[in-house]
């Protein structure tokens, strides 16, 4: 894909349904009793990976007039799959399914693409093993995961890293375990699992960093999925850095464990207005109005990082235009995402002529700096492809993005939406 600098961004858009909530909606509805009705489900590749795995486990999923119906099989109704379950590029699919499959009375195998097969899985295998699970990994502690279904027991587990995927894997296994399951987080991570379990009738209680779960049943329900704030982030940053822009992003999920980038940017002088606030099944939703702004440099570290982990690639692009120093520290989790995102940010920003300093756990950029077009290597990572598409909007000359189609992992019509707002034709 070849992209060029644009004059301004103007107009209104919807972003896909939240990826994390869409995947949980399908999975929890599959484990519930009765038929759940899901509106606003994302059509992203990762969500389709979750749906395909559930179908192989005997779950019937139907789409009618844009509404998704999942016929729940109850906690004990999944069927042994005929072959390996392919989680594609999706860490959430693999880690959450592992929590469920560990407690079944059948065996299963989880596989993924090249990127997913190199991501760390011991972080779920270890707590699940202490619940009584039997899971074999490759020698490096990576997928394929061979899961021998076992009777599980509840545990109290202090997470070594703030990870919603690990937290959710343990809580899901807890649904199949005897006794209580308690998870303690070092820092708060996204809480969609807790919110959705509660909406489906499970008793989940949260006390500071401690989440307790009693093994019960899930009841089918109606689920409205908000727009994905992590997808909106690309347009928020684009609207802020392209001169004379004014855009409205409708129905964005504003769960505080996800929307911290908005607070951070507003503190740094970004003009972002939140309109039409409401609540759907415990998740906050609102419209965002974004104006071009002169943003100041900022620092994010410690407990702030899990609250904006997926937005850091596009915030790195923003940092090149911010006045003064922007720093991200304590973000070494970026190294084990769909790509090593610290390296991908470093290599690609340099290709656009940006100077930056990288660390094992983050990076520092002093802005504003001028961007010049260049050839972007996405490392097959959807968020790197989209972050650098945003960078191209303000770069002189031409920016070429290899494998730009990888954006479909989380945002199938990302480039169409960008074209529409900028009224440009790209090839
Ligand atoms: C996710 C949790 C985060 C996030 C990922 C989705 C989830 O990962 O980066 O994109 O749906 O639970 P970790 O749990 O590894 O932090």
Pocket test for ligand 1, best of 46, 91, 304, 310 (most atoms within 8 A of CB): 91
Q: Which atom of ligand 1 is nearest to the CA of 306?
A: 16
How far is residue 94's CA from residue 46's CA, in Å, rounded to a whole number?
10
How confident is the model over 189-198, as a mean pLDDT?
Answer: 96
How far is residue 309's CA from residue 315's CA, in Å, rounded to a whole number?
10
Pocket test for ligand 1, best of 309, 335, 383, 411 (most atoms within 8 A of CB): 309
Give rounded-to-5 percent helix, strand, coil for the chain.
35, 25, 40
**Can you say whether the dihedral through the CA atoms of 321, 325, 326, 331 is positive or negative?**
positive
Q: Which of 389, 420, 375, 413 is nearest to 314 (CA)?
A: 389
pLDDT digits (tens, 9 = 90+) for 277-302: 999 888 999 999 999 999 999 999 99
pLDDT digits (tens, 9 = 90+) for 76-135: 999 999 999 999 999 999 999 999 999 999 999 999 999 999 999 999 999 999 999 999
| Distance from residue 172's CA to the centre of ligand 1 (Å) | 15
Is residue 250 scored above 90 in pLDDT?
yes
pLDDT at position 216: 78
Output the average pLDDT for the chain: 96
Q: Dihedral of the CA atoms 281, 287, 293, 297 (nearest 10)?
A: 0
Domains of the chain, earliest start first: 2-16+226-422 (3.65.10.10), 19-212 (3.65.10.10)
How confident is the model over 386-408, as a mean pLDDT?
Answer: 97
Phi/psi of residue 46, nearest 5 degrees:
-60, -35
CB 268 within 8 A of CB 295: yes
| Distance from residue 373's CA to the centre of ligand 1 (Å) | 31
pLDDT at position 214: 76
How confident is the model over 342-349, as a mean pLDDT?
Answer: 98
pLDDT digits (tens, 9 = 90+) for 350-385: 999 999 999 999 999 999 999 999 999 999 999 999
For the chain, what percent of residues have pLDDT higher than 90?
96
Is residue 424 scored above 80 in pLDDT?
no
| Distance from residue 423's CA to the centre of ligand 1 (Å) | 33
Distances (CA, A) of 266 to 21, 335, 343, 369: 25, 27, 28, 21
How confident is the model over 155-176, as a mean pLDDT?
Answer: 96
Residues 6+ apart with CB under 8 A from 423: none
pLDDT at position 134: 98
Q: Catalytic residues, which ones?
A: 310
Ramachandran region, residue 314 (left: φ > 0; alpha: ψ -120 to 50; beta: rest): alpha
Is residue 215 scored above 80 in pLDDT?
no
How confident is the model over 316-342, as a mean pLDDT?
Answer: 98
Confidence of residue 170 (pLDDT cuts 50, 70, 90): very high
Protein residue with its CA nearest to atom 4 in ligand 1: 310
CB 169 within 8 A of CB 120: no
**What DSSP letter does each residue of 80-115 carry, written as one string?**
--SS-EE-TT-HHHHHHHHHHHTTSSSEEEEE--TT
Q: Which atom of ligand 1 is nearest to the CA of 19?
A: 11
How confident is the model over 177-206, as a mean pLDDT?
Answer: 94
| Distance from residue 424's CA to the centre of ligand 1 (Å) | 33
pLDDT digits (tens, 9 = 90+) for 39-56: 999 999 999 999 999 999
| Distance from residue 405's CA to the centre of ligand 1 (Å) | 21
Is residue 423 scored above 90 in pLDDT?
no
Is residue 153 scored above 60 in pLDDT?
yes
Q: Which atom of ligand 1 is nearest to the CA of 337?
A: 9
Is residue 427 scored above 60 in pLDDT?
no
How far is residue 349's CA from residue 264's CA, in Å, rounded to a whole number?
22
Pocket lined around ligand 1, Cβ cut-off 6 Å: 20, 92, 163-165, 168, 189-190, 309-310, 333
pLDDT at position 52: 98
Pocket test for ligand 1, best of 165, 211, 339, 411 (most atoms within 8 A of CB): 165
Distances (CA, A) of 287 to 248, 290, 364: 7, 10, 31
Q: Which atom of ligand 1 is nearest to the CA of 168?
A: 12
Report pTM.
Answer: 0.97
Strands 145-148 and 271-280: unpaired
How far is residue 179's CA from residue 115's CA, in Å, rounded to a whole number?
36
Chain centroid to Cα 73, Å, comes to 26
| Distance from residue 313's CA to the centre of ligand 1 (Å) | 15
């Amino acid at each position: 894909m070849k992209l060029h600098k644009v004059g301004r961004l103007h107009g209104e858009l919807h972003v896909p349904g939240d990826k994390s909530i869409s995947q949980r909606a399908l999975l929890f509805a599959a484990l519930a009793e009765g038929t759940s009705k899901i509106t606003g489900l994302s059509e992203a590749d990762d969500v389709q990976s979750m749906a395909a795995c559930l179908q192989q486990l005997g779950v019937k999923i139907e789409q009618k007039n844009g509404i998704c119906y999942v016929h729940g099989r109850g906690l004990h109704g999944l069927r042994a799959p005929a072959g390996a379950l392919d989680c594609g590029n999706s860490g959430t699919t693999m880690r959450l399914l592992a929590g469920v499959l560990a407690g079944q009375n059948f065996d299963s195998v989880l596989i993924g693409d090249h990127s997913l097969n190199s991501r760390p899985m011991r972080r779920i295998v270890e707590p699940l093993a202490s619940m009584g699970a039997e899971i074999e990994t490759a020698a490096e502690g990576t997928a394929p995961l061979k899961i021998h279904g076992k009777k599980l027991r509840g545990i109290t587990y202090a997470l070594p890293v703030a990870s919603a995927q690990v937290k959710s894997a343990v809580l899901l296994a807890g649904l199949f375990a005897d006794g209580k399951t308690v998870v303690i987080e070092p820092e708060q991570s996204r809480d969609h699992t807790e919110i959705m379990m509660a909406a489906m009738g499970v008793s989940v209680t949260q006390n500071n960093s401690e989440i307790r779960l009693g093994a019960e049943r899930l009841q089918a329900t109606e689920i409205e999925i908000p727009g994905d704030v992590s997808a909106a982030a690309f347009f928020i940053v684009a609207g802020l850095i392209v001169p004379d822009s004014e855009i409205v992003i409708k129905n964005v999920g504003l769960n505080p464990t996800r929307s911290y980038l908005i607070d951070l940017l507003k503190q740094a002088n970004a003009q972002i207005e939140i309109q039409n606030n409401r609540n759907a099944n415990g998740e906050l939703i609102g419209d965002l109005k974004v104006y071009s702004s002169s943003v100041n440099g900022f620092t994010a570290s410690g407990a702030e990082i899990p609250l904006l982990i997926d937005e850091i690639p596009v915030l790195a692009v923003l940092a090149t235009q911010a006045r003064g120093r922007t720093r991200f520290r304590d973000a070494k989790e970026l190294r084990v995402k769909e790509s090593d995102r610290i390296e991908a940010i470093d290599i690609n920003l340099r290709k656009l002529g940006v100077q930056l300093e990288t660390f094992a756990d983050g990076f520092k950029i002093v802005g504003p700096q001028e961007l010049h077009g260049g050839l972007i290597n996405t490392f097959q990572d959807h968020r790197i492809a989209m972050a650098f598409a945003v960078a191209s909007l303000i770069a002189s000359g031409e920016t070429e993005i290899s494998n730009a189609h990888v954006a479909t992992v989380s945002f199938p019509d990302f480039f169409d939406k960008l074209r529409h707002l900028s009224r440009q034709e790209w090839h």
